Amino acid sequence: MPKKKSAVGAAEALLDAHVAYLVEELTGDGLRDLIGDHLDALLADAARLKLKDVVTARMIKDTARTYAAEIELGAGLPELVSAIARALYAHKIHDRTALKDVVVHARYEEFVDKLLELESLREKLVRAAATSPIYIAFASDLLYHGIKGYIARGSEITRGMPGAGSMMKLGRSVLNRASPGLETTLDDNLRKYVARSVEATSRTSAEFVLQHLNEDTLRRMTREIWDRLKFERFGSLREDLAEDDIEDLFVIGYEFWRELRTTEIYATLIDAGIDVFFDMYGDTTLAALLDEIGVTREIMLGEAMHYAPHVLKALKRKKLLEPLVRRSLQGFYRSGAVERVLASTS
């Protein structure tokens, strides 16, 4: 019995020593070397493991579906993002940053060139716009008021002719007595005629626009727009976009995203993207995959050393590191395994 107690005491002593050793390792000057050694070992293993050996496409799809489509975000997140949006909106950097400081002219030209290549899409958009009810109503109203203005202009001219004004008034008076409301009826008929005419010629007007809205014209227009806007400060947007507008747009966008993530297309496209990723990299080793996406040993070690010392020292200062290490080790030291080893070697 004393021998067993002695073995138990030895196991506890070993646990204390092991805990103290790890705490010192994690908070001492050799942390960088410790992390570097473990990282090198992990990268060596990663060179022998393929992506499909450690994870399947189905596993990734399930995780993606959980976080992208199923998990309900807490109520605090929208409020947090909204607060961040307000802070970004009010930041003084917008007052000294112009469009040219963010968008390089060469990138803008490349973007315009690509858009100009989409000729069929441009044609569809122009034809759809030219035949839309909004365009027809706008063109009809414009033409109607143009005709009315021309008639009114004609009336002004006749006023300068002796007797013409009296004849016009007499004629209008006779017509109104003969057929009350005729003038209003003529006005309504003019509106209807103009609307029918515009609707009938809207397709022709679309072809006219496409003919004159060629690549050279569009390129010239985009350059004029760039020259006009490139010196504009982002802060000038506040004249037309208030802080409440930013918050409203965020709420609308957030609600749209919540609805979108429940649709079939959302989950289907995520799955399709994961399938492509596995088709390309399923047989690639983890080390090669890290290299492919540009994550090097230096980056990983640098990021680990950026956070680990601060976090570990904070845990030690708050007296939380030693209990954390002890919890991870005490199961083994109190399992009886240590006592059996000590007993077999005594």
Residue environment code for 324-337, b if the CB has 16+ CB neighbours within 10 A, otherwise e: ebbeeebeebeeee
pLDDT reading at 3 higher than 90: no
Mean pLDDT computed over 206-233: 86
Judged against a pLDDT cut of 80, whether residue 218 lies above it is answered with yes
Cβ neighbour number for residue 286 with a 10 Å cutoff: 20
Confirm if 339 and 8 have CB atoms less than 8 A apart: yes
pLDDT score recorded for residue 2: 57
The one-letter amino acid code at 289 reads L
Give residue 149's identity as a one-letter amino acid code. Answer: G
**185 compared with 219, residue with greater pLDDT:** 219
More confident residue, 156 or 110: 110
Q: Is the pLDDT of residue 278 over 70?
A: yes
Using pLDDT thresholds of 50, 70 and 90, give the confidence band for residue 168. very low
**DSSP codes joined into one string, 185-244:** HHHHHHHHHHHHHHHHHHHHHHHHHHHHS-HHHHHHHHHHHHHHHTT-BGGGGGGT--HH
pLDDT at residue 213, rounded to an integer: 77
Distance CA 252, CA 258 (A): 10
Between 145 and 117, whose confidence is greater?
117
> What is the average pLDDT across 110-134?
86
Higher pLDDT, 212 or 97: 97
Average pLDDT over residues 159-167: 49
**Cβ-proximal residues to 126 (8 Å cutoff; 6+ apart), any chain:** 206, 209, 210, 213
**Tens-place pLDDT, residues 191-205:** 776 777 777 777 777
C-alpha 54: how far from its chain's center?
31
16-75 per-position pLDDT tens digit: 999 999 999 999 999 999 999 999 999 999 999 999 999 999 999 999 988 888 888 787
* Percent of the chain's residues with pLDDT above 70: 84
Reduced to 3 states (helix: H, G, I; strand: E, B; else coil), residue 265 is: helix
- If you compute the radius of gyration of the chain from its CA atoms, what whole number of angstroms results? 38
pLDDT for 167 beyond 50: no
Among 200, 47, 25, 60, which residue's Cα sits nearest to residue 130?
200
Using one digit for the tens of pLDDT, what is the confidence trace for 320-341? 999 999 999 999 999 989 988 8
Per-residue pLDDT for 162 more than 60?
Answer: no
Average pLDDT of the chain, as a whole number = 84
pLDDT at 125: 85
Q: How many angstroms separate the Cα of 275 from the Cα of each of 51, 65, 284, 294?
A: 13, 14, 14, 21
Give the C-alpha separation, 115 to 117, whole Å.
5
Quickly state the pLDDT bin for 186 (edges 50, 70, 90). low
| pLDDT at position 201 | 74
Q: For residue 185, what pLDDT band results from cuts at 50, 70 and 90?
A: low
Please give the pLDDT value at position 142: 72
State the pLDDT confidence band at 290, using cuts at 50, 70 and 90: very high
Of 222, 244, 310, whose CA–CA distance to 82 is shortest?
244
Confidence of residue 174 (pLDDT cuts 50, 70, 90): very low
Residue 231: is its pLDDT beyond 50? Answer: yes
Higher pLDDT, 172 or 342: 342
Q: How far apart are CA 69 and CA 27, in angstroms?
A: 40
The answer, yes or no, to whether residue 240 has pLDDT greater than 80, is yes
Q: Residue 269 has what pLDDT?
A: 94
pLDDT of 71 reads 85
